[in-house]
Amino acid sequence: MNVNLLNDFLFGKLFGERGCEKETLHLINPFTNKNFKSLSFELNEIKGNYKNNKKSVTDVLVMMNNDTLVNIEAQIGKQAKFHKRNHFYNSKIYSILLNVGEDYEELPMTIMINILGFNLHNLENYHTTFVLSEKINKEYTLEDIIETHYIDLARFRIKVRKNKIDLNDPKDRLTLLLDEKTPQSLIDQVIKMDEFANNIYKKNTSCFKR
Protein backbone atom coordinates (compact mmCIF):
# COMPACT_ATOMS: atom_id res chain seq x y z
CA MET A 1 0.00 0.00 0.00
CA ASN A 2 1.60 3.25 -1.19
CA VAL A 3 0.63 6.13 1.09
CA ASN A 4 2.11 9.51 1.75
CA LEU A 5 4.11 9.00 4.95
CA LEU A 6 4.94 12.71 4.84
CA ASN A 7 1.33 13.70 5.46
CA ASP A 8 1.43 15.93 8.58
CA PHE A 9 -0.81 13.68 10.68
CA LEU A 10 0.75 10.40 9.60
CA PHE A 11 4.34 11.65 9.85
CA GLY A 12 3.63 12.85 13.38
CA LYS A 13 2.09 9.50 14.34
CA LEU A 14 5.02 7.52 12.94
CA PHE A 15 7.91 9.70 14.11
CA GLY A 16 6.69 12.49 16.39
CA GLU A 17 5.21 10.86 19.48
CA ARG A 18 6.52 9.18 22.60
CA GLY A 19 6.78 5.48 21.86
CA CYS A 20 8.26 6.23 18.41
CA GLU A 21 11.79 6.79 19.70
CA LYS A 22 13.30 3.82 17.84
CA GLU A 23 11.69 4.76 14.53
CA THR A 24 12.70 8.40 14.85
CA LEU A 25 16.27 7.47 15.72
CA HIS A 26 16.49 5.35 12.57
CA LEU A 27 15.09 8.27 10.58
CA ILE A 28 17.74 10.67 11.89
CA ASN A 29 20.94 8.61 11.80
CA PRO A 30 21.07 7.81 8.04
CA PHE A 31 20.40 11.41 6.98
CA THR A 32 22.90 12.93 9.43
CA ASN A 33 25.51 10.19 9.03
CA LYS A 34 25.76 10.04 12.81
CA ASN A 35 25.32 7.31 15.38
CA PHE A 36 22.99 8.75 18.00
CA LYS A 37 22.02 6.20 20.64
CA SER A 38 18.78 7.63 22.04
CA LEU A 39 16.48 10.64 22.01
CA SER A 40 13.67 12.35 23.87
CA PHE A 41 10.73 14.29 22.42
CA GLU A 42 10.53 18.04 22.98
CA LEU A 43 7.72 20.57 22.55
CA ASN A 44 6.64 20.56 18.90
CA GLU A 45 4.79 23.86 18.92
CA ILE A 46 6.95 26.91 19.63
CA LYS A 47 4.76 29.86 20.56
CA GLY A 48 5.52 33.55 20.73
CA ASN A 49 4.63 36.96 19.41
CA TYR A 50 6.00 37.07 15.88
CA LYS A 51 5.73 39.44 12.95
CA ASN A 52 2.35 38.95 11.21
CA ASN A 53 1.36 36.74 14.14
CA LYS A 54 3.44 33.88 12.76
CA LYS A 55 3.71 30.67 14.75
CA SER A 56 6.41 28.03 14.39
CA VAL A 57 5.17 24.46 14.16
CA THR A 58 7.74 21.74 13.64
CA ASP A 59 6.84 18.23 12.55
CA VAL A 60 9.31 16.56 14.92
CA LEU A 61 11.56 18.12 17.54
CA VAL A 62 13.83 15.85 19.58
CA MET A 63 16.82 16.08 21.90
CA MET A 64 19.51 13.49 21.21
CA ASN A 65 21.56 11.67 23.84
CA ASN A 66 24.47 14.13 23.44
CA ASP A 67 22.15 17.17 23.83
CA THR A 68 22.05 17.88 20.09
CA LEU A 69 18.64 19.22 19.10
CA VAL A 70 17.14 17.80 15.89
CA ASN A 71 14.22 19.41 14.07
CA ILE A 72 12.59 17.43 11.23
CA GLU A 73 10.14 19.00 8.82
CA ALA A 74 8.38 17.57 5.77
CA GLN A 75 7.22 20.07 3.14
CA ILE A 76 5.71 18.57 -0.01
CA GLY A 77 4.06 21.62 -1.60
CA LYS A 78 6.50 24.11 -3.10
CA GLN A 79 7.19 27.12 -0.92
CA ALA A 80 9.23 30.12 -2.04
CA LYS A 81 12.27 30.95 0.08
CA PHE A 82 11.80 27.81 2.15
CA HIS A 83 15.36 28.08 3.46
CA LYS A 84 14.45 31.39 5.10
CA ARG A 85 11.45 29.83 6.84
CA ASN A 86 13.73 27.04 7.97
CA HIS A 87 16.08 29.50 9.65
CA PHE A 88 13.12 31.34 11.16
CA TYR A 89 12.10 28.12 12.88
CA ASN A 90 15.63 27.57 14.10
CA SER A 91 15.81 31.05 15.62
CA LYS A 92 12.58 30.40 17.52
CA ILE A 93 13.93 27.12 18.83
CA TYR A 94 16.98 28.95 20.15
CA SER A 95 14.83 31.67 21.69
CA ILE A 96 12.99 29.22 23.96
CA LEU A 97 16.11 27.26 24.88
CA LEU A 98 18.05 30.18 26.32
CA ASN A 99 16.61 32.57 28.86
CA VAL A 100 17.85 36.14 29.28
CA GLY A 101 21.13 36.20 31.16
CA GLU A 102 21.99 32.56 30.56
CA ASP A 103 25.37 31.56 29.15
CA TYR A 104 25.45 31.15 25.35
CA GLU A 105 27.59 28.06 25.88
CA GLU A 106 24.37 26.36 26.97
CA LEU A 107 22.95 26.54 23.44
CA PRO A 108 22.92 23.07 21.88
CA MET A 109 24.09 22.10 18.43
CA THR A 110 21.00 22.13 16.17
CA ILE A 111 20.41 19.86 13.19
CA MET A 112 17.61 20.71 10.77
CA ILE A 113 16.36 17.90 8.49
CA ASN A 114 14.01 19.07 5.73
CA ILE A 115 12.28 16.53 3.48
CA LEU A 116 11.04 18.42 0.42
CA GLY A 117 8.81 17.52 -2.50
CA PHE A 118 10.35 20.20 -4.73
CA ASN A 119 13.73 21.49 -5.93
CA LEU A 120 15.24 24.00 -3.53
CA HIS A 121 18.40 24.55 -5.57
CA ASN A 122 20.18 23.33 -8.71
CA LEU A 123 22.69 21.00 -7.08
CA GLU A 124 22.78 17.46 -8.46
CA ASN A 125 22.63 15.43 -5.23
CA TYR A 126 19.22 14.81 -3.69
CA HIS A 127 20.71 15.09 -0.20
CA THR A 128 22.62 18.29 0.54
CA THR A 129 24.09 19.50 3.82
CA PHE A 130 24.83 23.09 4.77
CA VAL A 131 26.97 24.32 7.65
CA LEU A 132 28.44 27.67 8.66
CA SER A 133 31.78 27.98 6.92
CA GLU A 134 34.35 30.69 6.24
CA LYS A 135 33.77 32.17 2.78
CA ILE A 136 37.30 31.69 1.43
CA ASN A 137 38.64 28.91 3.64
CA LYS A 138 35.57 26.73 3.24
CA GLU A 139 37.16 23.85 5.13
CA TYR A 140 36.89 25.96 8.30
CA THR A 141 33.41 25.50 9.74
CA LEU A 142 31.63 26.39 12.96
CA GLU A 143 30.59 22.80 13.58
CA ASP A 144 28.92 23.20 16.96
CA ILE A 145 26.18 25.64 15.90
CA ILE A 146 23.89 24.44 13.11
CA GLU A 147 23.76 21.81 10.37
CA THR A 148 20.96 21.87 7.80
CA HIS A 149 19.98 18.91 5.62
CA TYR A 150 17.70 19.06 2.58
CA ILE A 151 16.25 15.84 1.15
CA ASP A 152 14.97 16.65 -2.35
CA LEU A 153 12.40 14.01 -3.33
CA ALA A 154 11.96 15.46 -6.83
CA ARG A 155 15.66 14.97 -7.52
CA PHE A 156 15.61 11.55 -5.85
CA ARG A 157 12.90 10.39 -8.27
CA ILE A 158 15.25 11.11 -11.16
CA LYS A 159 17.73 8.75 -9.53
CA VAL A 160 14.99 6.12 -9.24
CA ARG A 161 14.00 6.47 -12.91
CA LYS A 162 17.64 6.09 -13.96
CA ASN A 163 17.89 2.93 -11.84
CA LYS A 164 20.74 4.41 -9.79
CA ILE A 165 19.34 3.50 -6.38
CA ASP A 166 21.67 1.67 -4.02
CA LEU A 167 19.55 -0.60 -1.84
CA ASN A 168 22.60 -1.24 0.34
CA ASP A 169 22.60 2.44 1.30
CA PRO A 170 20.29 2.98 4.31
CA LYS A 171 19.68 6.57 3.21
CA ASP A 172 18.40 5.46 -0.20
CA ARG A 173 16.19 2.81 1.42
CA LEU A 174 14.76 5.34 3.84
CA THR A 175 14.01 7.85 1.08
CA LEU A 176 12.32 5.17 -1.01
CA LEU A 177 10.09 4.38 1.95
CA LEU A 178 9.18 8.02 2.60
CA ASP A 179 8.33 8.92 -1.00
CA GLU A 180 4.74 8.09 -1.97
CA LYS A 181 5.78 7.88 -5.65
CA THR A 182 8.16 4.96 -5.07
CA PRO A 183 7.07 1.91 -7.12
CA GLN A 184 5.57 -0.83 -4.95
CA SER A 185 8.14 -3.31 -6.28
CA LEU A 186 10.92 -1.22 -4.72
CA ILE A 187 8.99 -0.79 -1.47
CA ASP A 188 8.68 -4.59 -1.27
CA GLN A 189 12.44 -4.98 -1.68
CA VAL A 190 13.14 -2.36 0.97
CA ILE A 191 10.88 -3.87 3.64
CA LYS A 192 12.34 -7.33 3.03
CA MET A 193 15.92 -6.22 3.68
CA ASP A 194 15.41 -3.43 6.23
CA GLU A 195 13.90 -4.22 9.64
CA PHE A 196 13.27 -0.55 10.39
CA ALA A 197 11.46 -0.03 7.08
CA ASN A 198 9.38 -3.15 7.69
CA ASN A 199 8.32 -1.90 11.14
CA ILE A 200 7.34 1.50 9.75
CA TYR A 201 5.41 -0.13 6.91
CA LYS A 202 3.47 -2.31 9.36
CA LYS A 203 2.80 0.62 11.68
CA ASN A 204 1.59 2.71 8.76
CA THR A 205 -0.76 -0.07 7.63
CA SER A 206 -2.20 -0.40 11.14
CA CYS A 207 -2.93 3.36 11.24
CA PHE A 208 -5.19 2.99 8.21
CA LYS A 209 -7.01 -0.04 9.60
CA ARG A 210 -8.24 1.85 12.66
In this predicted structure, the answer to whether residue 74 has a pLDDT above a threshold of 50 is: yes
Let me know: does 157 contact 121? Beta carbons within 8 Å: no
How far apart CA 79 and CA 59 sit, in angstroms, is 16
Q: Could you give the CA distance from residue 124 to residue 128 in angstroms, rounded to a whole number?
A: 9
pLDDT band at 80 (very low <50, low <70, confident <90, very high): low
Q: pLDDT tens, 176-187?
A: 999 999 999 999
What pLDDT is attached to residue 17? 84
pLDDT number for residue 123: 86
In the DSSP assignment, the letter for residue 104 is: G
DSSP class of residue 193? H
Name the average pLDDT for the chain: 82
Q: Give the model's pLDDT for residue 49.
A: 37
Percent of the chain with pLDDT over 70: 83
Return the pLDDT at 56: 47
Bridge-partner residues for 147, per DSSP?
111, 131
CB-based burial of residue 188 (10 Å sphere; 0-12 exposed, 13-18 middle, 19+ buried)?
exposed
Q: What are 156-197's pLDDT values in tens digits? A: 999 999 999 999 999 999 999 999 999 999 999 999 999 988
Give the model confidence (pLDDT) of 102-147 as tens digits. Answer: 677 777 888 999 999 888 888 889 999 999 888 899 888 887 788 9
